[in-house]
């Protein structure tokens, strides 16, 4: 498989893109620069949830309510076995064929193979960097919220927590698909197509209380013609500027966003001999400077 | 035996170089220590984990790191899977998560500019020098380079092989541009002396120099780096190399 690089931009309006569990669940921030942060794990979670909701079997997945399935049981279930048994190379292939999240993101599994110790680690070919906001982000004053869940069993009153939200954050992620690593997990072309789809579709479907107000805005996947070349972090060539206001704190919605990808298009043109194809998708509400059609071998994503 | 030299820039928006003696908090060095650079270079060549330690040992490959932009640290708490055994790694344990504070590195002007390290390499092995140059110049990677940890994707900009290289006489004080092993400095030769009107701010870190075959931990050394100018003026008892590279001069001491 060839290498790919991904640029994925989504926005968050009056919600909490990724809370820091040790900071009263405040949105993750780099405070000196007012940059909002989102972990790679948060993004992978959207993808896993999307795949599970669409009927794909996963290794790391939410179990049925009240039922925990440990990793060994999970592996046995995926292989259709009732009891733990020593696994051979063929079983390993079957597991990879069944579990798309392992093919994409890798996993450590408690599998005993001859001479290979107590567990097997698959390095995932798909890796995302942490996402960061392209604009300065302002947090809204919090109100206390109450929960029906008490802190301890037997207590009558619920707990009180804080509810921090960002005013508006335009978040950019960079991702890499390593063709060289893809061999180890058996990543398929169909999996990559599904990843394209999941990134564009998953976030609006994940409309929990803290995540309502998030929309995907731009997705570009550059597929190179080898498994050994990448340009490295496509966000270098993307520029944000506010639209309809000069003040950062008046950037309140996608209407106030202008994204300039001219430098990215030029960079791709410069390296077009190394590019097999570019898949792209753009939300209609986003103002873009620079034409997606001008990306070499570019074609819009269709689902 | 002739030595072979090459240099490249290593950049990315975020990094994490876990300190080997940190426990439950994932603290980070401010720069990639030699074990991280060696691991990344081995990965670029497609050499598997646990198969490169002998060839990338300090006796064959030496590494120096210049901190071009002094990084800023920010702490983010991460939700890890709480696993008491490999059986819990699919989030099936009683407590699903455990919170781990992690130090992440960013450039002072993040996200406008990336982190920037300059790596100098010296090897006794012509074949290894050739392979590294071929991989880094194009660039052409097997495993892709990460700044310390898989979520921190990065890129490499080839600088080249030095036009000239010269070993300085050890009788004169030198100003080096790289992180320096404390043992390379003459006793009490480090001065709080302003360079271009800026007083230095020295930091000490405790790093592992290399791995031995079988992933046996190698020697641990103390190193010193300077935050304001990235330069250290001292009397050195280990070789200081003056590199002429792309019309620029660098003074390098290997870790």
**Mean pLDDT calculated for residue range B94-118:** 92
Closest Cβ–Cβ partner in A108, A175, A230 for B89: A108
- Write down the pLDDT at residue A115: 63
Q: Residues of chain B whose C-beta is under 8 A from some C-beta in A?
A: 11-14, 46, 72, 74, 76-79, 85-94, 97, 99, 101, 104, 106, 109-111, 114, 138-144, 146, 150-156
A35 to B111: CB separation less than 8 angstroms, yes or no: yes
Tens-digit pLDDT string for chain A (303 aa):
999 999 999 999 999 999 998 888 899 999 999 999 999 999 999 999 999 999 998 988 766 655 667 888 888 888 887 666 677 888 888 889 999 999 999 988 888 766 666 788 889 999 999 999 999 999 987 777 777 666 666 676 777 777 899 999 999 999 999 999 999 999 999 999 999 999 999 999 887 888 889 999 999 999 999 999 999 999 999 999 999 988 888 899 999 999 999 999 999 999 999 999 999 999 999 999 999 999 999 999 998
Report chain B residues whose CB lies below 8 A from the CB of A124: 150
Closest Cβ–Cβ partner in B85, B93, B144 for A178: B144
- Write down the pLDDT at residue A143: 72
Tokens (6 digits) for A199: 């990134």
- Write down the pLDDT at residue B1: 60
Chain centroid to Cα A36, Å, comes to 16
What's the rounded Cα separation, in Å, for the pair B147 and A37? 18
pLDDT, one tens digit per residue, over B21-63 is 888 889 999 999 999 999 999 999 999 888 899 999 999 999 9
A71 to B90: CB separation less than 8 angstroms, yes or no: yes
- Selected for mutation to probe chain A from B10, B15, B74, B86 (highest A CB count within 10 Å) is B86
A71 to B76: CB separation less than 8 angstroms, yes or no: no
Q: How does the average pLDDT of chain B come out, rounded?
A: 93
pTM of the model: 0.94
A233 to B153: CB separation less than 8 angstroms, yes or no: yes
- Write down the pLDDT at residue A84: 62
Task: Indicate the SS3 state at residue B86.
Answer: helix
Q: How far is B251 from chain A (nearest CA, A)?
A: 28
pLDDT, one tens digit per residue, over B196-229 is 899 999 999 999 999 888 888 999 999 999 999 9
ipTM rounded to 2 decimals: 0.93
Could you tell me which residue, B88 or B152, shows the higher pLDDT?
Answer: B152
Closest Cβ–Cβ partner in B11, B74, B87 for A30: B74
- Write down the pLDDT at residue B201: 96
For residue A132, the chain B residue with the least C-alpha distance is: B111
**Mean pLDDT calculated for residue range B10-31:** 94
A33 to B87: CB separation less than 8 angstroms, yes or no: no
- Write down the pLDDT at residue B49: 83
Query: Cα dist. B76→A20, A31, A203 in Å?
Result: 7, 12, 23
Check: CB of residue B78 under 8 Å from CB of residue B100: yes
Interface of A with B in 68-127 (CB under 8 A): 68-74, 107-110, 118-119, 123-124, 127
Whether chain B has a CB inside 8 Å of the CB on A266: the answer is: no
A128 to B86: CB separation less than 8 angstroms, yes or no: no
Q: How far is A200 from chain B (nearest CA, A)?
A: 20
Q: How many CB pairs under 8 A join A and B?
A: 130
């Amino acid at each position: 498989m060839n290498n790919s690089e991904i640029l994925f931009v989504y926005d968050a309006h009056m919600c909490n893109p990724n809370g820091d569990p040790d900071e009263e669940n405040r949105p993750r921030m780099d405070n000196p620069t007012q940059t909002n942060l989102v972990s790679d794990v948060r993004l992978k979670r959207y993808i896993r949830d999307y795949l599970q909701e669409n009927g794909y079997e996963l290794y790391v997945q939410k179990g049925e309510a009240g039922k925990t399935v440990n990793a060994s049981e999970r592996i046995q279930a995926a292989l259709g076995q009732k009891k733990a048994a020593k696994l051979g190379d063929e079983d390993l292939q079957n597991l990879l064929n069944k579990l798309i999240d392992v093919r994409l993101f890798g996993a450590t599994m408690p599998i005993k193979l001859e001479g290979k110790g107590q567990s097997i680690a698959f390095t995932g070919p798909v890796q995302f960097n942490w996402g960061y906001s392209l604009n300065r982000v302002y947090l809204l004053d919090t109100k206390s919220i109450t929960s029906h869940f008490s802190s301890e069993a037997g207590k009558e009153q619920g707990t009180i927590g804080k509810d921090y939200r960002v005013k508006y954050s335009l978040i950019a992620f960079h991702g890499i698909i390593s063709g060289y690593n893809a061999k180890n997990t058996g990543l398929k072309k169909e999996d990559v197509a599904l990843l394209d789809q999941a990134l564009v579709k998953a976030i609006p479907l994940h409309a929990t209380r803290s995540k309502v107000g998030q929309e995907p805005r731009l997705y570009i996947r550059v597929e190179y013609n080898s498994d050994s070349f990448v340009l490295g972090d496509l966000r270098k060539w993307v520029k944000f500027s506010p639209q309809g206001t000069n003040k950062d704190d008046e950037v309140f919605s996608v209407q106030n966003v202008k994204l300039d990808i001219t430098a990215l298009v030029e960079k791709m043109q410069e390296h077009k001999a190394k590019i097999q194809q570019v898949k792209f998708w753009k939300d209609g509400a986003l103002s873009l400077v620079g034409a997606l059609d001008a990306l070499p071998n570019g074609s819009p994503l269709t689902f | 035996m002739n030595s072979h030299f090459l240099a490249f820039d290593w950049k990315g928006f975020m990094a994490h170089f876990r300190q080997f003696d940190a426990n439950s908090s994932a603290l980070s060095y401010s720069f990639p220590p030699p074990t991280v650079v060696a691991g990344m270079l081995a990965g670029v060549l497609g050499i598997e984990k646990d198969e490169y330690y002998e060839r990338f040992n300090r006796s064959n490959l030496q590494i120096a790191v210049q901190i071009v932009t002094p990084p800023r640290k920010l702490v983010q708490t991460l939700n890890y899977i709480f696993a008491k055994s490999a059986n819990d790694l699919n989030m099936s344990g009683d407590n699903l998560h455990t919170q781990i504070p992690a130090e992440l590195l960013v450039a002072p002007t993040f996200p406008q500019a990336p982190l920037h390290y300059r790596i100098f390499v010296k090897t006794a092995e012509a074949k290894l020098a050739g392979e590294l140059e071929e991989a880094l110049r194009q660039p052409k990677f097997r495993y892709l380079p990460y700044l310390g940890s898989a979520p921190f994707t990065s890129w490499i900009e080839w600088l080249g092989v030095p036009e000239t290289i010269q070993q300085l006489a050890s009788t004169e004080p030198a100003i080096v541009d790289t992180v320096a092993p404390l043992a390379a400095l003459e006793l009490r030769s480090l001065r709080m002396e302003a360079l271009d009107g800026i007083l230095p701010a020295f930091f000490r870190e405790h790093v592992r120099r290399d791995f031995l075959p079988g992933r046996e931990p190698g020697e641990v050394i103390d190193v010193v780096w300077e935050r304001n100018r990235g330069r250290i003026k001292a009397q050195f008892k280990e070789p200081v190399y003056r590199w002429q590279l792309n019309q620029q001069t660098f003074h390098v001491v290997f870790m």
